[in-house]
Amino acid sequence: MTRASSRRPGPPTRTERGIPEATVARLPVYLRALTALSDSGIATASSEDLATAAGVNSAKLRKDLSYLGSYGTRGVGYDVEYLRYQIAREIGVTQDWAVVIVGIGNLGHALANYSGFGTRGFRIVALLDADPTLVGERIGEMEVRDFAELEDIVKADRVSIGVITTPAGPAQDVCDRLVAAGVTSILNFAPVVLSVPDGVDIRKVDLSIELQILAYHEQRKSGEAALPQVPELPALNGMPDLPSVGGGVGA
């Protein structure tokens, strides 16, 4: 769309190299769908095909792709390999990003053992933990190292992405250390809201929240008529005991 020829007086100031956030979040899904098609030996796909594979509707997919440029051919569709490359380039996964994982407990172990990151644009360069009994343990090809080495590792390997899988308590401290060391993107698994300075991106993954969202809808399905059971406005001290639902900050 940014063909040099058209100087559009149009209002929305398109393609100032800025892609809507909602679209950015879907590009990885398209990338995966394209890879699947490619692996099946399919060379060309229409927006309809792609949309089905990605689980979205085709108008949305076409609009999303139009932010990257005009990479399709009218009457034909998209060249799978070519589009895959363009999306990978736009996302920035044509070369690997160095990642450190902090907190090698249950979840950290699972991530460390996961082979899927390497094929998707990421390279885990270090597994860090503060627990001395864990340091030195081998996981696959890697060895758990002391969290104190963080700064050296970040500097040596140009690490820009950090993954936090420690308990909630130390998470903010770990986060601060990561940021101070130069990490500018953080993926947080601990159930706390982390605060970071401007310029640092943070995303969270929270399984309890996902389950609770499902629970809300589940309650709607089954409870249609069973809701009025609970009083709408019990006295301030007159509500049932609620042991500790919602989860605290502890590990």
Partner DNA sequence: AGGAGCTTGTGAACGTGAGAACAAAATCGG
Partner DNA sequence: CCGATTTTGTTCTCACGTTCACAAGCTCCT
Binder of DNA out of 28, 35, 60, 139 (CB under 7 A): 60
At closest approach, how far in Å is the CB of 99 from ligand NAD? 12
Distance of alpha carbon 193 from alpha carbon 168, whole angstroms: 9
Distance of alpha carbon 213 from alpha carbon 207, whole angstroms: 10
On whether 136 is known to bind a ligand per the annotation, the reply is: no
CB 121 within 8 A of CB 146: no
- Which partner in a copy of itself, ligand NAD, DNA, none is near 54 (CB below 5 to 8 A by kind)? a copy of itself
Residue 4 in the binding site for DNA (CB under 7 A): yes
On whether 104 is known to bind a ligand per the annotation, the reply is: yes
Binder of DNA out of 41, 75, 238, 250 (CB under 7 A): 75
User: How is residue 124 written in tokens?
Assistant: 């885990």
Binding residues for DNA, rule CB under 7 A, total 32
- Which partner in a copy of itself, ligand NAD, DNA, none is near 147 (CB below 5 to 8 A by kind)? ligand NAD
Residue 234 in the binding site for DNA (CB under 7 A): no
Distance of alpha carbon 68 from alpha carbon 62, whole angstroms: 10
- Which partner in DNA, ligand NAD, a copy of itself, none is near 134 (CB below 5 to 8 A by kind)? ligand NAD
Closer Cβ to ligand NAD, 59 or 215, answer by number: 215
Distance of alpha carbon 51 from alpha carbon 73, whole angstroms: 16
- Which partner in DNA, a copy of itself, ligand NAD, none is near 78 (CB below 5 to 8 A by kind)? DNA
> What does the per-residue mask of binding to ligand NAD show for 141-170, with x meaning CB under 6 A?
------x-----------------xxxx-x
Q: Which of residues 64-103 bind a copy of itself (CB under 8 A)?
A: 69, 79, 81-82, 84-85, 87-94, 97, 99
> What does the per-residue mask of binding to ligand NAD show for 88-117, with x meaning CB under 6 A?
--------------xxxxxxx-xx-xx-x-
Closer Cβ to a copy of itself, 138 or 230, answer by number: 230
State the CB neighbour count (10 A cutoff) for residue 193: 11
CB 136 within 8 A of CB 128: no
Binder of DNA out of 72, 103, 108, 170 (CB under 7 A): 72
**What is the phi-psi region of residue 131: left when phi exceeds 0, alpha when psi lies from -120 to 50, beta otherwise?**
beta
Q: Is the dihedral of CA 96, 99, 104, 106 positive or negative?
A: negative
Four-point Cα dihedral 153, 154, 155, 158, nearest 10: 120
At closest approach, how far in Å is the CB of 22 from DNA? 4
* 99 contact partners, CB below 8 Å, separation of at least 6: 117, 122, 123, 124, 125, 159, 161, 162, 163
* Start-to-end C-alpha separation, the chain: 50
From the annotation, which residues make up the binding site for NAD(+)?
Answer: 103-108
